[in-house]
């Protein structure tokens, strides 16, 4: 057992990496910051203090549960992240939270670096939190795997700059504060890249973003993220909307510029969709008021909801709309397919690698109001064909589960000699 996986969060994609190595018999430790540990005296104190302050700290810790590897394989360094969370609860401007995030993430990287030893064969880190660990790994002769969940940072910024010029009100004090730090943060990612033996990306779109910025992509390996367990086929194929009722389109996640939300509003208004369909939006609203008001007919804003409730909406809707301008993957796409929900998305979504246009969804050009308008109106005119996509959507998710992702990732790391064959 010879590989250390480390990341400041316990996000599902991070835990799946740790589990892939654990199943291969190669995980020494999964190192993180805050995790749910009811045995911890610190957590018990914070939960009790939360009750006094009328804050549900227990549920916040539960959202950071590590479920994919045994507890004895998990090591946590929580204090910096706890400070960030505490400050973030009252930091309306966001700049202090960002400052603490950067300092604690780099501090976490230093802690992991100090714990490396020659008995390991490799380390597995993620963007912006791995530089010192990678440097130390190289000194010890260890292999380095680097996961890049997002497209290249400068590539993303060039796309967003076009939209920000259209909507200058998005250039807030917080935006200007973080923009001033971009050059340094991008340089850190480049240094991490240079030290990596293999780079793991989720999609061909992400790999192309690296190439577009002049990076050597010969060491990039694409391993698509897996889908959640699929819903029961009978439930998926049950009637959703009759011919005399309005179609239901679903949006899940931040309703903002990067995800193409403003293009969806334009298309909805242009096609007068509110007369024939509903759009349910679940997630944080991050658009300027002038784009939202007046809210078009047929659009319902539901705010943040639980994962269980969201999955129920996937099952009861007619199509997911995900017109992103730039996304390394897009977990909402595979979540939708796992519930048999067809997806309208763009050529700038990493998950489009698994989309078959006209079979499990519709593929459109990013940033194109007319293309989005045409896709929405196609759904109205082709209800039976849209419904027929439900079975193909379910099959797409069933064909690439998290277990498939883990198998491919382990095989890739073995090929790159991050670890050897288990004896």
pLDDT of residue 235: 76
Indicate if the pLDDT at residue 255 is higher than 80. yes
- Alpha-carbon Rg for the chain, nearest whole angstrom, is 22
Where does the pLDDT of residue 419 fall: very low under 50, low under 70, confident under 90, or very high at 90 and above? confident
Per-residue pLDDT tens over the stretch 332-358: 999 999 999 999 999 999 999 999 999
pLDDT of residue 232: 86
Q: Is 125 within 8 Å of 146 (Cβ atoms)?
A: yes
Residue 387 has φ and ψ, to the nearest 5°, of: -65, -40
| Residue 334 Cα distances to 29, 215, 254, 261, angstroms | 29, 29, 17, 19
pTM for the model stands at 0.91
Per-residue pLDDT tens over the stretch 267-285: 999 999 999 999 999 999 9
pLDDT of residue 174: 85
Indicate if the pLDDT at residue 27 is higher than 60. yes
pLDDT of residue 422: 47
Torsion over CA: 293, 298, 302, 307 (sign): negative
Averaged over 243-253, what is the pLDDT? 86
Indicate if the pLDDT at residue 228 is higher than 70. yes
| Residue 327 Cα distances to 152, 203, 256, 268, 324, angstroms | 10, 9, 13, 22, 7
Per-residue pLDDT tens over the stretch 74-115: 999 988 887 777 777 677 788 898 999 999 999 999 999 999
Domains and CATH numbers, the chain: 3-226+403-415 (3.40.50.2000), 233-400 (3.40.50.2000)
Please give the residue that has the higher pLDDT: either 94 or 321: 321
Q: Show Cβ contacts of residue 178 under 8 Å, excluding neighbours closer than 6 positions.
A: 98
Q: Is 219 within 8 Å of 148 (Cβ atoms)?
A: no
Q: How far apart are CA 341 and CA 235, in angstroms?
A: 12
pLDDT of residue 423: 41
Average pLDDT, the chain: 91
Place of tokens 């967003």: 160
Respond yes or no on whether the N-terminal peptide bond of residue 286 is cis (omega within 30° of 0): no
Per-residue pLDDT tens over the stretch 144-195: 999 999 999 999 999 999 999 988 888 888 888 999 999 999 999 999 999 9
Pick from 104, 227, 210: nearest CA to 148: 210
pLDDT of residue 289: 85
Measure CA 303 to chain center: 18
- Out of 79-93, 259-273, 394-408, which region has the weakest mean confidence (pLDDT)? 79-93
Torsion over CA: 250, 254, 256, 260 (sign): negative
pLDDT of residue 242: 47
Indicate if the pLDDT at residue 197 is higher than 60. yes
Indicate if the pLDDT at residue 288 is higher than 90. no
Indicate if the pLDDT at residue 238 is higher than 90. no
Pick from 308, 301, 257: nearest CA to 282: 301
pLDDT of residue 239: 65
pLDDT of residue 53: 65
Place of tokens 């409730």: 309
For the chain, what percentages of helix, strand and coil (3-state, to nearest 5) are there?
Answer: 50, 15, 35
Question: Could you count the other beta carbons within 10 Å of the beta carbon of residue 310?
Answer: 21
Question: Could you count the other beta carbons within 10 Å of the beta carbon of residue 328?
Answer: 21
């Amino acid at each position: 057992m010879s590989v250390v996986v480390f990341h400041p969060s316990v996000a599902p994609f991070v835990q799946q990496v740790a589990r892939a190595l654990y199943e291969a018999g190669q995980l020494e430790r999964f190192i993180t910051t805050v995790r749910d540990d009811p045995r911890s005296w610190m957590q018990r104190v914070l939960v009790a203090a939360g009750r006094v302050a009328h804050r549900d700290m227990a549920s916040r810790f539960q959202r950071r549960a590590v479920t994919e590897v045994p507890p004895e394989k998990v090591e946590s360094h929580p204090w910096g992240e706890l400070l960030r969370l505490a400050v973030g609860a009252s930091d309306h401007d966001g700049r202090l939270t960002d400052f603490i995030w950067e300092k604690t993430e780099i501090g976490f990287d230093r802690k992991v670096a100090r714990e490396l030893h020659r008995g390991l064969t490799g380390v597995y880190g993620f963007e912006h939190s791995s530089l010192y660990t990678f440097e130390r790994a190289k000194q010890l002769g260890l292999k380095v795997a680097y996961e890049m969940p997002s497209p290249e940072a400068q590539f993303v910024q060039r796309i967003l700059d076009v939209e920000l010029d259209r909507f200058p009100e998005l250039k807030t004090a917080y935006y200007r504060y973080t923009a001033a730090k971009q050059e340094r943060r991008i340089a850190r990612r480049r240094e991490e890249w240079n030290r990596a033996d293999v780079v793991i990306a989720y999609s061909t779109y992400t790999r192309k973003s690296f190439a577009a910025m002049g990076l050597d992509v010969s060491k990039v390996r694409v391993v698509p993220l897996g889908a959640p367990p699929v819903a029961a086929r009978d439930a998926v194929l049950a009637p959703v909307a009759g011919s005399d009722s309005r179609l239901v389109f679903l949006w899940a996640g931040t309703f903002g510029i990067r995800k193409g939300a403003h293009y969806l509003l334009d298309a909805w208004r242009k096609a007068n969709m509110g007369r024939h369909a509903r759009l349910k939006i679940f997630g944080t609203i991050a658009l300027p008021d002038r784009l939202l008001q007046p809210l078009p007919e047929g659009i319902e804003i539901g705010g943040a909801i639980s994962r269980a409730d969201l999955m129920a909406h996937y099952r009861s809707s007619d199509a997911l709309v995900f017109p992103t301008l730039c996304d390394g993957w897009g977990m909402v796409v595979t979540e939708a397919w796992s519930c048999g929900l067809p997806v309208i998305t763009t050529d700038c979504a990493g998950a489009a690698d698994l989309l078959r246009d006209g079979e499990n969804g519709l593929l459109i050009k990013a940033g194109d109001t007319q293309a989005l308008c045409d896709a929405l109106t196609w759904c109205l005119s082709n209800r039976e064909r849209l419904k027929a996509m439900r079975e193909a959507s379910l099959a797409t998710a069933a064909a690439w589960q998290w277990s498939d992702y883990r198998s491919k990732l382990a095989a890739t790391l073995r090929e790159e000699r991050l670890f050897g064959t288990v004896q």
